[in-house]
A and B are shown apart, each in its own frame.
Chain A
Amino acid sequence: MAATKPRSSSFSRNLSAVPSSQTPGVKCGLNGTMFVSSGIPDLDKILGGGFPLGSLVMVMEDAEAPHHMLLLRNFMSQGLVHNQPLFYASPAKDPRAFLGTLPSPSTSKDEKPRGSVPEQEKGLRIAWQYKKYMPENQPNFDSQSNNKQVYCNDFDLRKPLERHYHSAQRVDCVSIQDSTNFIALKDRCATFLAQFPRNDANSSCTGRIAIQSFCALQCEHSNMEWDMLSFIKSMKGMIRSSNAVAVITFPPSLLSLSSSKRWQHLADTLLSVGAIPDEDKELAKLLAGYQDMVGFLNIHKVARINTQVPVILDATTFSIKLHKRRFLVLECINQAPVDGSSGSSYGTSSSCSSGSSKTGTLDF
């Protein structure tokens, strides 16, 4: 542990942490944390860099839609692309078959999601007055984009990941279909995590754990709730002292209310996904771009490791969209412009008078 070393000054710079920022797939963040990418560029941006190493990410599933798989697939693919060992547990009979469905990083530049290109231009436009500094920065930029391993790839959901990425020695697959005790699973996690001890000198090796639909099958036994909780608790304890991130998805509707709250408290980063009902006409009227939406992503909690300040996001609900049916993008939800012709009373009156009629109801 880093902190067991006595330090003379409170403000000593942790020199050993600096070289590790060069390792691909790991990024230094605030408060001495290090991030790995979630595999979704937008999600990384929203979370302030990605998932911090040593944190437990929980995704609450929608009971009717498999949107959590989108997050899980990108997370796993990104790890494999970065050559990070992966541990995958799922209730399926043959978890290894799932690896065949992982998306592949897009290679050609023109297929990049539209979001990234104009944003770079915007950045350049703002920085025009700093042009004299540009020669210094420019090569840096280029080397980053030319670099084979970028921090976060764009994944093409229609192209399967090449086979050589998931060669057997790097991926550990476990089926949790008929395991009624978690000691075996815990032991396997422990041996997996033992490869990535947390010490500042050697943080080049990072691992990822993905557990899909954790309680889905075990839930029928109500007496398992405490076993599952203590599994998650010990998982959190193990992951805290190692250079790894664990993502666990679970269907909260199968848990009792108080258990589900306990799970949520145990999570460092808490997300939930939801499906969009087909042809919900009222919702379609309310939200712009409803046709392209696949589902919603809610961000309930952002990890705060080494800090007491909560992260307050501008928005906590995002729409999940598929750009060109290939790339996963997250967008803020925008209210659709009110259709002037459709409304009967508001449509005829001007915006000014409708404003005044509104204030009339709020009479103080």
Chain B
Amino acid sequence: MNNPALNLLDKALGLEQQSEAWPLSRRVLVIQDCVETSGSFVLHQLMKRALSSNSSNVIIFVAFSNSFSHYDRILRKLGCNLVTQRDNKRFFFFDMLMLQCTGEKIQNVVLVVGISFFFSDGDEAKTGKGGLILLYEKIRKTICALPKDKKNYVTVMIDDMSLMEVAANGASDYVLDFLHYCHTLTSEFDCSLVLLNHEDIYSSMERPMFILQMEYLADILIKTEPLATGLAADVHGQLTILNKGISDSLESSRNKIHNFHFKVKENGVDYFYPGSRA
């Protein structure tokens, strides 16, 4: 039971279960961070976990904030080669750095690394809707094209949602529509959805519809915050994980809050309870 390879984060996410199915399938994970403490390392951990050799997961990664080489270098240091995984059709990278859903005549270049699709769209694209619909179709097509044994083990990751809002020129409703479409994938293909967003953007809003909707959709909510006492070299921040655990209603202990500190390193992340490190 006590697998030393599992850290506190894995346990809080329920990855310790010895089951056939990927424990996160049909789940929506929302990671919320702030300017002081980035939460992107959680994404990297999940990527590594999903692409590890003893699982057969497929990742569809929608990147708004960084290029492929950035993730490739990070994951290499974690012991996972994204280039190989991409060649094995287990990792699909959608480079959305330049996606912009506005303008007179929109031309969206969607780069599935290696192959580039180029399409221009007239009417729909004007509204900021077109680009996202195309993106959704892209994701769906990619899942449908997978072989049967892999189709039900897909993880869709989006880094990050606030930039998707910018790409849609502030049309949050379209982004929410997109999210709901993606949410249907979790029931249709048992896929899991991992979304990163920045909490502090919305903290000054009166009615932060967007982040509330995301929190509502989330089965597992992960928050990274700096320590109240400021930055420290040994502790980079604290994680709060709320596991709503809808699918696991048998165990009452499921629905609980985990809270611990972390320190990010090149080859992994240390998780520990406050005060448990000398």
Which residues on A are within 8 Å of B, measured CB to CB?
Answer: 1-4, 6-7, 10, 31-32, 183, 225-227, 229-230, 233-234, 236-238, 240-241, 256-258, 261-262, 264-266, 270, 300-301, 304-310, 312-313, 316
Contact A306 B98 (CB under 8 A): no
Q: Which residues of B contact A258 (CB under 8 A)?
A: 201-205
Contact B66 A240 (CB under 8 A): yes
| Subset of 27 A-B contacts with CB under 8 Å | A1-B68, A2-B69, A3-B67, A3-B72, A3-B83, A4-B113, A7-B83, A10-B81, A225-B170, A226-B166, A229-B166, A230-B102, A230-B169, A233-B166, A234-B100, A237-B98, A240-B66, A241-B67, A262-B166, A264-B35, A305-B70, A307-B73, A308-B264, A310-B38, A312-B232, A312-B233, A312-B236
Chain B nearest CB, measured from A350 CB (Å): 30
Chain A nearest CB, measured from B44 CB (Å): 5
Q: Which residues of A contact B83 (CB under 8 A)?
A: 3, 6-7
Nearest 3 CB-CB pairings of A with B: A237-B97, A3-B69, A257-B204
Contact B163 A233 (CB under 8 A): yes
- What's the Cα separation between A312 and B203 when bound, in Å? 25
Among A265, A309, A310, the one with the most B-chain Cβ atoms within 10 Å of its Cβ is A265
Chain B nearest CB, measured from A32 CB (Å): 6
Contact A265 B35 (CB under 8 A): yes
Contact A265 B97 (CB under 8 A): no
Chain A nearest CB, measured from B114 CB (Å): 7
Chain B nearest CB, measured from A236 CB (Å): 7
Given A233-B163, A262-B162, 17 other A-B contacts at CB below 8 A?
A: A3-B68, A3-B69, A3-B82, A32-B73, A230-B166, A234-B98, A237-B98, A241-B67, A258-B205, A262-B198, A262-B201, A265-B198, A270-B35, A300-B36, A307-B74, A308-B41, A316-B231
Q: Chain B, 134-156, contact with A by CB distance < 8 Å: what is the 0/1 string?
A: 00000000000000000000000
Chain A nearest CB, measured from B92 CB (Å): 14
Closest B residue to A227 using CB positions: B169
Chain B nearest CB, measured from A226 CB (Å): 4
Chain A nearest CB, measured from B54 CB (Å): 19
The reply to whether the CB of B274 lies closer than 8 angstroms to some CB of chain A is: no
Contact B265 A309 (CB under 8 A): yes
The reply to whether the CB of B11 lies closer than 8 angstroms to some CB of chain A is: no
Q: Which residues of B contact A31 (CB under 8 A)?
A: 73
The reply to whether the CB of B87 lies closer than 8 angstroms to some CB of chain A is: yes
- What's the Cα separation between A305 and B72 when bound, in Å? 11
Contact B205 A183 (CB under 8 A): no
Contact A226 B69 (CB under 8 A): no
Q: Chain B, 62-95, contact with A by CB distance < 8 Å: what is the 0/1 string?
A: 0010111110111011000111000100000000
The reply to whether the CB of B40 lies closer than 8 angstroms to some CB of chain A is: yes
Contact A309 B100 (CB under 8 A): no
Q: Which residues of A contact B40 (CB under 8 A)?
A: 308
- What's the Cα separation between A225 and B170 when bound, in Å? 9
Contact B67 A310 (CB under 8 A): no
Q: Which residues of B contact A237 (CB under 8 A)?
A: 97-98
Contact A301 B74 (CB under 8 A): no
- What's the Cα separation between A258 and B209 when bound, in Å? 13
Contact B97 A240 (CB under 8 A): yes
- What's the Cα separation between A238 and B100 when bound, in Å? 13
Q: Which residues of A contact B98 (CB under 8 A)?
A: 234, 237-238
Q: Chain B, 1-42, contact with A by CB distance < 8 Å: what is the 0/1 string?
A: 000000000000000000000000000000000011110110
Closest B residue to A237 using CB positions: B97
Q: Which residues of B contact A301 (CB under 8 A)?
A: 35
Contact B167 A10 (CB under 8 A): no
Chain A nearest CB, measured from B264 CB (Å): 5
Contact B266 A265 (CB under 8 A): no
Given the interface pairs A261-B200, A309-B264, the reply to whether A4 lies near B114 with Cβ below 8 Å is yes
Closest A residue to B74 using CB positions: A308
Q: Which residues of B contact A256 (CB under 8 A)?
A: 204
Closest B residue to A306 using CB positions: B73
Contact A261 B113 (CB under 8 A): no
Q: Which residues of A contact B76 (CB under 8 A)?
A: 10
Closest B residue to A31 using CB positions: B73
Chain A nearest CB, measured from B246 CB (Å): 30
- What's the Cα separation between A258 and B197 when bound, in Å? 13
- What's the Cα separation between A226 and B168 when bound, in Å? 9
Contact A1 B162 (CB under 8 A): no
Among B102, B166, B198, the one with the most A-chain Cβ atoms within 10 Å of its Cβ is B166
Closest B residue to A240 using CB positions: B67
Q: Which residues of A contact B66 (CB under 8 A)?
A: 240, 305
Q: Which residues of A contact B72 (CB under 8 A)?
A: 3
- What's the Cα separation between A306 and B82 when bound, in Å? 14
Contact A310 B264 (CB under 8 A): yes
Q: Which residues of B contact A3 (CB under 8 A)?
A: 67-69, 72-73, 82-83
Contact partner of A233 (CB less than 8 A), chosen from B35, B68, B167, B236, is B167
- What's the Cα separation between A190 and B152 when bound, in Å? 41
Given the interface pairs A32-B73, A233-B163, A308-B264, the reply to whether A226 lies near B201 with Cβ below 8 Å is no
